[in-house]
Every structure is written in structure tokens, then in C-alpha cells.
Chain A
């Protein structure tokens, strides 16, 4: 039998339905791959007993003809999703040994549809980072290396464990979250497909909060079809999240292979940065050419406030984080460091429990919300955000169906190579993705090529609100043209 871990999710679904193999066999193949890949540090918690129990139960259901849309499919879960009875830490020391007594809505829907949990995946602490280097469990290795080099590269972040595990064939798909690019940037760094759906498409209930007006869950998978299958199960209205939208979830898979003929694709001139590497420029034109060959029409568009998205983000996101993370007080859950007074207990707990990046963001957030600075920073950033959203609205009002951009300004880099001296250097990774969160729109990253060193690069498609289907159709065109990319195994 071929190695079960190399199947796509769609192929595995067929194999399970045809009874070529069982979910237990598929699950065991992945558990064994995870064991052999511990050097990647993608999983922070393996749950083999639970995985086998879930697989056996779903095998019985499949035998009775009751399997759901994801019946028997083994998945990895980002450690930001609360999983009942399974330690959930957001990869922060401050959550310590937190064991939720409840299940996040998104993961509960995956289990409802028959998926199997292999374990919890590494991420940047509280999803704050673009390289998965801020995790209290240490950095994650990218399965991709530069040609002829043994240097371990970052998988991107914050969903670095999700991207690495999917690319290394440790799971058939993974949950992820995206606040400024945390699904799309790691997907681009690992040649996987990642979609951040429209704000409100997936429930945020039971996901550790970072910046509530920007956070959205989405899948990372190996193909656009697999991502479509996963999103269908993850999405949907949830009364427990007041920002989740009560509109039906379409069958996203039906959009795969649909013609894109006549679609208008915007190419935003502001995304052509000074000093942009020639290979990113080339990738972008190639992607545009593929869409044109499939019958789409390319239109140059302008999104004039693009350059202000990242600075506005670094006010809005830390401000919301400083408020959300106020709950980690050493009293109700997680780590506690003693103090003589309640204030000292709070201060000692938070100094010990939060890593450097989280402390920095909580502090900047506290500052921009503090008396005397609120108007100059926070209020101004929220006004700029309105302008960023309006740029997109104007563009879509002219009949543009989707916008094509590079996903990242570079390929993956080495662990410890960026952001050491100046945090802003790391933040620039999200320059093409962060606009999408600021405007609440859906965005997908699709593998599109390689750089001169053999590292994967991705393109991003940005869609109208709640039009993820168009992104899947266009993403599939790129996938068909670019082909799929698999890393050579070194672990």
C-alpha cells in the first residue's frame, strides 16, 4: 500500500469510503509519522490514545454508513483552540497546565463531522509572531530547507506548527487562526494552502483571544480542495459568538474547478514595493498570467491606504490584546507567582508568565489606550482602518471579483535571523496580509512557485466579504498551473 500520509484529504476520504483502509490505519500512519518528526517540534502535545479511540469509533460509524463529511480524517489542532480534557496553552507559560472543561465551537464541528484529533500544534505565544519563535515550547522547524543547506528555517507564524505539520505529512489538515497573516504567511512559507475566511464566518468561541476584531479561524491543508472541505465544517453561525454571522455555509468544494472565465482580477499597484525581490515580482506576473489564461480579466487597481495598514494594525491589535490578556492574573487559571499584595501577585505572575513579545505588545497596547494618548493613537488608527476598508469597497464596487497579490515579501528565513534588534523587521512579514484582516475580508494563500534557493513562495487572493467560493475557484486555477510542491524529507 502507498504511504497513507501522502494522500490528500480528498483521496483519503475516497479510500475510507471504498474501505481500502480504515481510519485507525490512517490514524496510526500519521501517529507514527509524528513520532519520527519530533525534531520539527510541530506538535506540543500528542494525543495518540484519544486519536485511536476516535478513529475506532468513527470506523464503526463508517461501517454503519453514518460517517460525516470528514469521517476518519486525522487532523492537527492549533494550541489556541480549547479542547475539552486536553491541555490548551496558546503556547504561553502563563496558561501553564490549563485543561479546558469545554470544547471550542470550531473543533466541536470538526468532531461532529467525523474528524480525528492527533494532537495540539505549536504556535507563537498567543499567536503573536510571524516565525513561530515566540512559543514557550520553542521554535518549529520548516520541512523546507534551502537547496544544499542544512540550516533549519522558520515555518512562519503564528500558525507555524499547523503549516509545518501539514507540509511534513504529519496530519491531513490543521486548524489555524489569522489575526494579521498567521494562516496565509506560514502557508506561503511551507507550500501549503491556507485560507482566512471573512470575519464572522467561523465562531471565535473557545479560541484563545488575541485581537478580537481581527481574529478568525481557518484551515491549512495541502490542496485548495482539502481546504474547502475543512472550511465547510469549521464555518457556521454560533450563538455563543455575537460576531459570528448567521448566513448559510455553502458547499465550498463545489467551487473547486468552477470556471473563472470573465472574472475581473484586481492587481493593486500599491503592493509593488520598492526593493521587492525580482522573484516575487515574477511570481506575481506568472500568477496573473495563469488567471488570464483561464479566462479572467486583469485590471490594475489602486488601494491607496495600503502602506498605513501595518502601522494601524500595530496600534489596534496590541490595544485589543492588552485588554484580552488582562484575564491572566494568576487567580483563576494558569500560572501564579506569589506576591505580598494582590498587585504584586498580578505583576509577578504576568512578568514570569508572558514572553518578551507578548509583554511588549501588552505594554504598547496599554500605552495607546491610556489617558491622553487614546485619541492620538487608537482613535486615529480606527479611522485609518475605515479608510483601508473603503479602499477595498471602492475596488469591489467597480466590479472587481478578487484581488491578486504576493502572500509574503520573501521566502522563509532562518531561526533567529529576523527581529532581534528591531521588532518592526519581523512585523514587515505581514505587509501583504494584514490589510485583509483590517478590512475583515477573506484571503487565501496558494503555493505558486519557488525562489532561487528552492524555497516555496505563495500568492494571495483577496475576496469580497463572504465570497470564499471565488477564492477557492481562483486558487484551484493557480494550483493546477503551478503544480504541487513537497519537501524532501530530512527529519
Chain B
């Protein structure tokens, strides 16, 4: 049975971009392992030759006309941002 160790918990947290303190790791590890133990029963299903589901309702992917039908709403786009300057989002320095 697959289970995660403390190092994996830290790695997943980083991949998910969620800060996790050392003190939280054992608790999270227990919870994640409880979930993994629960889903483990799927390994007993014979899925040989079964197509994975990609669309629950059989349908053609709809395509819209390749035309501009929206835009000029920069004010709306930045309206809820925590830090902006003009129509730009502000972030900490990314490139040295």
C-alpha cells in the first residue's frame, strides 16, 4: 500500500504552493495517508482495456468564431487585485 512520508508531505506542499510548518507535517501526513488508504480499494478493480473518462456527457467540443468578442475591460480585471499600479498587477521582484 502506498503512503507518504514526511519528506513527501513537504514536497507536495511546495508543489501546491502552500506553506506548511514543521509542526503541521505529522498531522497532514496522517490525514493524507488516511485518504490514500481509503482510495486504495480502487486497485482491486479490473480496468484492463477500459478507456479513462474524458467527458461525462458525449459531446463535440464546441468551437467559437475566431473573433474578438470581449475586451477593453482592464479596469474590471484589476478591480479586485490586492496591489496594482495603473493596469498592472504588482508582485515582489522576480527577475534580478
Contact = CB atoms under 8 A, between A and B. Distances in A.
B8 to A, nearest CB: 8
Nearest to A311: B39
A96 B19 CA distance: 19
Given A348-B19, A386-B50, A440-B56, A364 B79 contact: no
Interface in B2-52: 2, 4, 8-9, 12-20, 28, 31-32, 34-36, 38-43, 45, 47, 50-52
A322 B16 contact: yes
Interface in A325-363: 326, 329-336, 338-348, 350-351, 354, 359-360, 362-363
A384 interface: yes
B28 A360 contact: yes
A342 B94 contact: yes
A239 B64 contact: yes
Contacts of B47: 380, 383-384, 387
Contacts of B32: 360, 363-364, 367
B18 A347 contact: yes
A101 interface: yes
A311 B35 CA distance: 9
A312 B91 CA distance: 38
Contacts of A366: 12, 15-16
Contact of A440 (B14, B28, B57, B77): B57
Nearest to B27: A356
A386 B53 contact: yes
Nearest to B89: A331
Contacts, number: 166
A116 B79 CA distance: 26
B12 A367 contact: yes
A48 interface: no
A354 B16 CA distance: 12
A389 B83 contact: no
A485 interface: no
A383 B57 contact: no
A243 B57 contact: yes
Nearest to A347: B19
A381 B12 contact: no
Contacts of B42: 308, 311-312, 315, 380-381, 384
Contact of B80 (A332, A379, A381): A332
B92 interface: yes
B18 A354 contact: yes
A379 B56 contact: no
Contacts of A340: 92
B68 interface: no
Given A340-B92, A363-B28, A383-B51, A99 B12 contact: no
Contact of A377 (B4, B39, B59, B81): B39
B16 A363 contact: yes
B71 interface: no
B76 interface: yes
Contacts of B9: 363
B34 A424 contact: yes
Nearest to A100: B80
A55 B39 CA distance: 49
Contacts of B64: 239
Contact of B17 (A242, A347, A379, A380): A347
A198 interface: yes
Contact of A384 (B4, B45, B79, B80): B45
A350 B16 contact: yes
Nearest to A359: B18
A354 B20 CA distance: 12
Given A332-B81, A350-B18, 15 more contacts: A97-B80, A101-B79, A243-B57, A314-B39, A331-B81, A332-B80, A334-B80, A342-B91, A345-B91, A346-B17, A347-B18, A364-B36, A367-B4, A384-B42, A387-B45
5 contacts: A246-B62, A307-B41, A334-B80, A344-B19, A440-B57
Interface of A: 97-99, 101-102, 198-200, 213-214, 239, 242-243, 245-246, 305, 307-308, 311-312, 314-315, 322, 326, 329-336, 338-348, 350-351, 354, 359-360, 362-367, 370, 373, 376-377, 379-387, 389, 422-424, 427, 438-440, 465
Interchain residue pairs A-B with the least CB separation, the first 4: A440-B56, A382-B52, A333-B80, A336-B82
